[in-house]
Amino acid sequence: MPGSPQGPQGYTDLVHAMAEQWREHLALVLCYIVIGAYWLQHHYSGRIYARSDHWFGAINLLFLLAIVVVPYPIRIWVFDLGTAFEPVASVVFTTGVALIACAWMAKWFYGVVGRRTMDERLAADFIQQMTRRYGLAASTQIVAVPISAFSPRIGVAVTLLAVAFFFLPQPRPRYHPGEEPSLRDVSDG
């Protein structure tokens, strides 16, 4: 294995040895994509949330747990791709990513109810728009789980398309008339 303390283990060509580890590389890329997509949304949500409390922090920890754990189901799928275990591995993969979406939605709904943690200056139609956007993405990821049970690669593709949605630019927050934050507020968030 390239880079291992035991040395090249019989390989005479490092490039060939690395090419044989394509599954490791694919798992790394998929982890980067999934975690990166949610990092972008987490960064964006700094413009939406204005405060925190104990329970919001606790839900955020569940979200972080789902993020930390996701490399495991991704590796299971990548290493069982093309084997008899691919159907089960696909369900594990889609479930792992759906858990991130569920934790994200728990955080969202906790913050929306009574505007516990949301910026109170945000317009109601903007909050509704974001609820629909996030809800559609999360629902798609949840629906991908049973799809992957019957059609493994289609279920994984649906999940990855839902994740790709988070790479698109999100709408600029809209505020109640006259309550837009100052430029200083926007640059700090």
Task: Report how far residue 2's alpha carbon sits from residue 20's, in angstroms, rounded to the nearest whole number.
Answer: 10
Give, to the nearest 10 degrees, the angle between helix 54-69 and helix 71-80.
Answer: 20
* Residues belonging to the chain: 189
Structure tokens at 1: 């294995």
pLDDT 10s digits, 91-104: 999 999 999 999 99
pLDDT score for 188: 46
The arithmetic mean of pLDDT across residues 71-82, rounded, is 97
- Check if the beta carbon of residue 164 is closer than 8 Å to that of residue 37: yes
Of the candidates 59, 61, 52, the one whose C-alpha atom is nearest the C-alpha of residue 116 is 52
pLDDT 10s digits, 16-53: 777 888 999 999 999 999 999 999 999 999 889 999 99
pLDDT 10s digits, 132-176: 999 999 999 999 999 999 999 999 999 999 999 999 999 999 999
Q: Which residues contact 189 (CB under 8 A, 6 or more apart)?
A: 46, 47, 181
Task: Name the percent of the chain lying above pLDDT 70.
Answer: 90
pLDDT score for 11: 61
CA atoms within 13 A on the CB side of 94: 30
Q: Which residues contact 42 (CB under 8 A, 6 or more apart)?
A: none
pLDDT score for 86: 97
Structure tokens at 28: 């790394």
Element (H, E) at 36: helix 22-45
Structure tokens at 4: 């291992």
pLDDT score for 45: 92
